[in-house]
Structure 1
Amino acid sequence: MTSRRYAALVTVLCQLTALLGVFLASALPAQAAPTHIAAELVAGPIVDGKATLAIRMSPEKGWHGYWINPGDAGLGMQLAWELPEGASVGEPAYPVPRTLVVQGLMNHVYEKEYAVLVPVTLPEKATAGTRLPVRVKAQWLACTEQLCVPERAELATEIVVGAAPDKKTAKRFDEWTRALPAPLDAPAAFALTDKTLRLAIPLPASVKLEAPHLFVREDKLVNYAAAQMFSRKGDVLLVTIPRPDFASPAAGTVDAVLRLDGFGNGIALTAKPGPVPTGGEPVASDTEAPELPALPWLLLAAVAGGLLLNVMPCVFPILSLKALSLARAGESEAHARVEGLAYSAGVITACLILGAALLALRAGGEQVGWAFQLQEPAVVVALFVLAAAITANLLGLFEFAVPGFASGGSAQGSFATGLLAAFVATPCTGPFMASAMGAALLLPVAPALTLFAALGLGIALPFLAIAFVPALRRRLPRPGKWMVTFRRIMAVPMALTALALAWLVWRLGGAATLSYVLALAAMLLALLALAGRNQRRGRPALIPACLALAVLAVGVLTMPEPQHQPGETASIINAKPFSAKALAKAQGEGRPVFVWMTADWCLTCKVNEEVAIEREDTKAAFEKAGVVVLRGDWTRRDPEITRYLTARGAAGVPLYVWYAKGAKPETLPQVLTPALLAQKAGS
């Protein structure tokens, strides 16, 4: 059985279960036990012979009720009225619902207090002061994400003709009325095919849209869980929604509610058959802001993510820095603890500085994400020069104390090593860390900075363990002559790091920038070699060191304007450049889409591309399934890519998202297995 048929079967079973529950509820006597959604019938104002009644619903925490069209599962409220002779009720008006996806099923729900407003036409003979009793038997389904309970209540109130409601009641009705979707003052048009429902909604371009979603009232007319595509063409909003395999017959009109944002604002519309334009500029997707886990879980994820960074491929270049410090930590217990704490302080400080800078830039309107520092050529140049200088130091070219490598060690050196380690390590995102850093971009400043500090603590944990656990320190080799040889060996990964940074300088700034930076590095190394010769001869090395700093300062100030080299999109799987417009077009054609976000400085990305993406079996599976591959190059700052990452709850790259036909997007793991993409294409 295919996954689509399985989902359809689950939907039918859910509906049958809900109907059975309501039948049983109607057959049983009213229970005295309290319901999970408390209900109250309230009489409101009377205008021109018509009164308004409100059925106020108050769900308990964790429970929810349903819109008039509940979606894939659930059941809308059923009402049976007992009215005075000559009175009649109109169509109930519901506030704008929200979406809730449970086990792949889309529900249209209310999780907080809401009110359904019902208009009542009074009897013509009713005079001022007449009391009109009103009763209603209401049945509804109250659900959590695990279970549903059919509930019922007999509600009663009294309408007093000519009497105005008290101030408290009037205020409540004002609030409930504002929660209703505003009626659209112009006709909308729709076009229906076997595969899609397309609508043209007249909506001024000045109306801001944030996480829009269209709730269609007609049952089973559209695929509720499918991604909805929105685009704008002048003052017309275009909406495309896939249809299910077993869709309802074509309707003469389509009634719907368009959610405008995440604050309950929306418009009610009725669309009639008519021309619907194509094209337009894509707007924000229908994905709601991700619901964040509790802060303690986020903190645990940040610590775990930082700890795992110590073994991620992108962090290997800094392992040589850690190795010498770990080896020297066995000298004495007190000294090891001081160095462990100093190193940890440096790591946490670096994470806090980077986090604060990131939050400040985003607050100022900049579209930046985690690892934003490596999107700036000047930062990469500085790291390249530093890596080249450390390589020369490890080879014995000069004897300046590289942070943490002084023969006697120092707290200041360990702190500096921690700063450097975190600065180089944090651009990568791995398991656990992605959710925590993505949440940090959405939380207030204080808890967000706490998450950044927790990430630093995770990176520093191995050093802290060595510093405070004597058994671990005893397993380290004692200092000796072997450390000189080991220091020379560690120059190899540092030299490879310098080469990788040189390549990144070229990717960010072009050949001219790379040539300039290589010449600058050669001059610096020559001056450092001169300083080292003076040191070996017992002469002062201050003059060559100052000259090196002066050359570096002048070199940075006179560096040519970088010319970015766009990431190569040609690949064996025929990747195209990412854009929201390209994504909307591919989804509109009903094709599966693989969105692949990468950057030249992300080693995890490069490993995934080699192991799982750029493969012949992946290519064959994608071609067979007609998969559209969209590759986003985040090497340099790209606002459109940053907006997409934020919408998906990601703070940085790598990010891989799979859009199956007629289904919600699925975020894939950050570490891909060789067969994963081929399996996705074949499912």
Structure 2
Amino acid sequence: MTRGFAFLFGTALGLAALAQPQAADAAATSWQQGKGASARLITAVDGTGTLAAVPAGLQIKLDPHWKTYWRSPGDAGLPPALDWTGSANLGTPTLAYPAPQRFQLFGLETYGYETEVVYPLTLPVQQAGQAQHLALAATVLVCSDICIPANFSFALDLPAGPAAPDPETSNLIDRYDNAVPGDGSAAGLAIGAVTANATGADTPNGGLRVEATAREPFQSPDIFVEAAPGDAFAAPRVETSDGGRTLVAVIDRIQAGDPPTALAGSPVTLTLVDGPRSVEAKPTIGAAVAAPVDATAWVTILGVALLGGLILNLMPCVLPVLSLKLLSIVKAGGQTPRRQRLGLLATAAGIVASFLLLAAGAVGLKAAGASVGWGIQFQEPVFLVVMVVILTLFGCNLLGLFEVVLPGRAMDAAARASGADQPTERTGLLGLFLTGAFATLLATPCSAPFVGTALGFALSRGPTEIGLTFAALGLGMALPYLVIAAVPALARLLPRPGRWMLWVKAVLGLALFGTAIWLLFVLSVQVPPGAAVAVAAAMVLIGLTLWLRPRGGPAGRRLGAGLAAVLALAAILLPLRFDRSDAAATALASVGWTRFDRAAIPGLVGQGKVVFVDVTAEWCLTCQVNKLLVLGRDPTAAALGGDGVVPMLADWTNPDPAIADYLAAHGRYGIPFNAVYGPGAPDGIVLPELLSADAVLDALAKARGAGS
């Protein structure tokens, strides 16, 4: 009897329990399946009770090899996007992020989670003791070889009854809530001094030096940096001491925002993760401490700069100014040794002075927080028009349409300085100086072997390094003139002046007009073609005015000079009235390549494709030579157009911060620049400035994985 009663009582209790709604059902929605992930909304309690806020979580389970993202996703990705529209009795929810992991793939770094994550939620109750209706539309980006936004829609009702905790969901939420980085007191971690690192040849954007301590020795520390928009930081290089309880990390800034911000004095959020423990701090970055450069490094860099400047004389970019250089050399022939030396030294001085002017401009741009690079002045339409005007005037001068006559005092001073009998002979020294200076400005659109290395060092450091390196580049480019000046016997090999020079000057003048036409073509890509045509018309009028000027007597000469000056000024100001054209769109249409997209490269490589990146510009003659002789011809053109190859065009004719950052990430500040990415070379193979078909084809094969 007793056993039968006990059996009936137990059965009744079991049936009663089954008849009651389960706490777990009230504390969680059903799982929803998406591509790469499934998700549900969970709460730690099954009622609102007297709570001011309900602890909850968005639980994500990821398929193998799939990942999702932290609040700061890194080089790619997005954090979750939550929409609570339709909820009732709900204040403003807050979402927390557990400590992330670092993922590295194809040269990109992302931060997030794999396998599973619960984003802790705090859901304020607007009217305590009342029921709460939760309606959540969540978009979570999940990535494997591709990235897909997974969309979920949840609805959950919490009754007004007691806020009884659900053991399963409350423990799960607590576990991930405890993984949210805090002040480090519970974890025994502390972040100490944070200072900016000086820029260097390998760190053009600078970086951070972070000190930290741990109660228990560090095991596998990592530091995540959240700074100004557009800034990106590499994984830290960590050194420990004091039995592993003290840490010093060096973290390079691999990409700066636009405009770039100075690290020193800026706020930053640092998250230090060491296994299951973590800490978050929001310090202000201290001033940078410049890293000294030893004497050996200085000698090496200046030697590289000297050699790079010398090689710059042989690059295709110098072809437009070859006429100027030929003229200065020809003028040195058949003169007295003293006169020859003075002329050659004047040209060399003009070259060095022009390089120092470029150095001053680079220092000024860096101080203003702007991006710097070799030849970036050719991205400015006003600069192009100034060059066109000067070339036109130089050409007219060579054709004898006008002469530059210095004021009497300046002529006398020049004469005394060089010891000539006739002051008018001294005006040639100024012309040779200006020839050297102007030739240098026109020779800067393209880089050359060793020039990129020297520029990478200089532009990543301070004014002193920039000045010395640019001076060495100038000396290298001026070296042929200095050698002839030092060895007068070489000048005797040059032909003596005569009537033949009139024909040479005419030919060289036409060559300068050809250079001006080339610059007008570059201008037509940056501004509407009609503006470039108007500038060309102004140049024709200037030439016509100077030709007619001697025929009008003294008054006509003054009027002609004034009219030429007005036309030149109008031409220079004309580009300011027009918006820039999309040079990249024009180039893409003409060659059929895809537009440069750095973030798309890893995904394409993940699909097994090979990506060829060509950073070029209409003003870069070396780039055009590469295109004409290599990229636009078979077998290279056929290979770039083959299956599985994605040619990307990064057109730098106009300023583009994304391209400047891409170059800086490779320690480059000039173009041409070409790199090949693929399954066999996810971090890229950098090609030389002057391309060859063999070099391109070999890189494509290595990137594809052939022979690996």
- Alignment TM-score, normalising by the size of structure 2: 0.57
Q: Secondary structure at the match of 1:596?
A: strand
Match for residue 678 of structure 2?
A: 660
Aligned mate of 2:329, from 326, 331, 347: 326
Could you list the runs of 5+ residues in structure 1 that have no partner in the other structure? 1-185, 243-259, 272-280
> Per the alignment, in what secondary structure is the counterpart of residue 513 of structure 2?
helix
Query: Which of 593, 607, 625 lines up with 2:625 in the alignment?
Result: 607
Query: Which is higher, the Rg of structure 1 or of structure 2?
Result: 2
Write the distance in 2 (CA, Å) between the matches of 1:514 and 1:553.
Answer: 15
Given residue 499 of structure 2, which amino acid in structure 1 is its aligned partner?
K
1:450 is aligned to 2:468: yes
2:209 corresponding residue in structure 1: 263
Which residue pairs with 1:385 in the alignment? 389
State how far apart, in whole Å, the 2-side matches of 1:598 and 1:232 are. Answer: 35
1:631-646 maps to which residues of 2 (within 5 A)? 631-646=649-664
Shift, 1:449, TM fit: 1.4
Deviation at 1:317, TM superposition (A): 1.5
Kept after mapping to 1: 8 A contact 2:673/2:689: yes
Quote the residue 1:485 is aligned against: 503
Is the 1:658–1:665 Cα contact (8 Å) retained in structure 2? yes
Contact 1:229 1:241 in 2 (8 A): no
Q: Which residue of 2 is the match for residue 581 of structure 1?
A: 599
1:173 alignment partner in structure 2: none
Residue matched to 2:694:
675
Q: Is 1:297 aligned to residue 297 of structure 2?
A: no
Q: Call closer, same or farther: CA 1:545–1:569 in 2, change over 3 Å.
A: closer
Determine if the alignment matches structure 1 residue 395 to structure 2 residue 399.
yes
Q: Does 1:230 align with 2:230?
A: no
SS in 1 for 2:693: coil
CA contact (8 A) 1:377 1:562 kept: no
SS at match of 1:628: strand
State the alpha-carbon separation in 2 of the partners of residues 565 and 476 from structure 1.
47
Maintained 8 Å contact 1:289/1:647:
no
Aligned to 1:616, what secondary structure does the other structure show? coil
Alignment check: 8 A CA contact 1:602 1:653 kept = yes
Q: Which amino acid aligns with 1:484?
A: L
Q: Structure 2 counterpart of 1:633, which letter?
A: D
Q: 1:623 to 1:552 in 2, by over 3 A?
A: closer
TM-score (norm 1): 0.59
Alignment correspondent of 1:547 = 563
Superposed counterparts of 1:428-467, under 5 Å: 428-467=446-485
2: distance between equivalents of 1:200 and 1:360? 42
TM-aligned CA distance change 1:203 to 1:562, over 3 Å: closer
Distance 2:558 2:516 in 1: 25
Q: Deviations over 1:111-134 (max 9, x none)?
A: xxxxxxxxxxxxxxxxxxxxxxxx
Instruction: Return the offset for 1:652.
Output: 1.3
Cα gap change, 1:574 to 1:545, in 2 (>3 Å): closer
Instruction: Choose from 374, 378, 402 the match for 2:378.
Output: 374
Q: Secondary structure at the match of 2:209?
A: coil
Whether the 8 Å CA contact 2:687–2:695 is kept in 1: the answer is no
Which residue of structure 2 aligns with residue 521 of structure 1? 539
**1:269-418 to 2 correspondences below 5 Å:** 294-330=297-333, 331-400=335-404, 410-418=428-436
Judged with a 3 Å threshold, the aligned counterparts in structure 2 of structure 1 residues 226 and 511 are, in CA distance, closer, same or farther, namely closer
Report the Cα distance in structure 2 between the residues aligned to 1:190 and 1:444, rounded to whole angstroms.
48
User: 1:69-114: per-residue Cα shift (whole Å, max 9, x none)?
Assistant: xxxxxxxxxxxxxxxxxxxxxxxxxxxxxxxxxxxxxxxxxxxxxx
Answer whether contact 2:305 2:473 (CA < 8 A) is retained: yes
Give per-residue Cα distances to partners, 1:322-369, cap 9 Å, x unaligned. 112112213111122222222222211211211221232133222342
Gapped runs of 5+ residues in structure 2?
Answer: 1-57, 78-98, 114-118, 120-139, 147-205, 213-217, 223-229, 236-250, 255-290, 415-423, 703-708
Q: Identify which of 632, 636, 644 aligns with 1:626.
A: 644
Match of 2:572 in 1: 556
RMSD over aligned Cα atoms: 4.3
Contact 1:326–1:466 at 8 Å: present in 2 too?
A: no
Q: CA deviation at 1:644?
A: 0.8
Q: 1:564 to 1:401 in 2, by over 3 A?
A: farther
Aligned partner of 1:202 in structure 2 is 70
* 2:209 counterpart letter in structure 1: F
CA positional deviation for 1:231: 7.9
Report which stretch shifted further, 647-656 or 581-590. 581-590
Helix, strand or coil for the counterpart of 2:527?
A: helix
Counterpart position of 2:280: none
Whichever residue aligns with residue 436 of structure 1, its letter is A
Secondary structure of 1:200's aligned partner: strand
Superposition deviation, residue 380 in structure 1: 0.4
Once the 2 structures are TM-superposed, how far is the Cα of residue 529 of structure 1 from its aligned partner? 1.2
Offset from partner CA, 1:593-638 (integer Å, 9 cap, x none): 2111000000000000111112332243345561222110100111
Assess, with a 3 A threshold, how the Cα gap between structure 1 residues 666 and 682 changes in structure 2: closer, same or farther.
closer
- Structure 2 Cα separation of the partners of residues 237 and 339 of structure 1: 67
AA matched with 2:337: E
Distance in 2, matches of 1:361 and 1:342, equals 28
Equivalent residues of 2:74, 2:110 under 8 A apart: no
Distance 1:487 1:558, change over 3 A: closer
Q: Please state if 1:427 is matched with 2:448.
A: no
Q: Provide the C-alpha distance between the structure 2 equivalents of 1:315 and 1:563, rounded to a whole number of angstroms.
A: 27
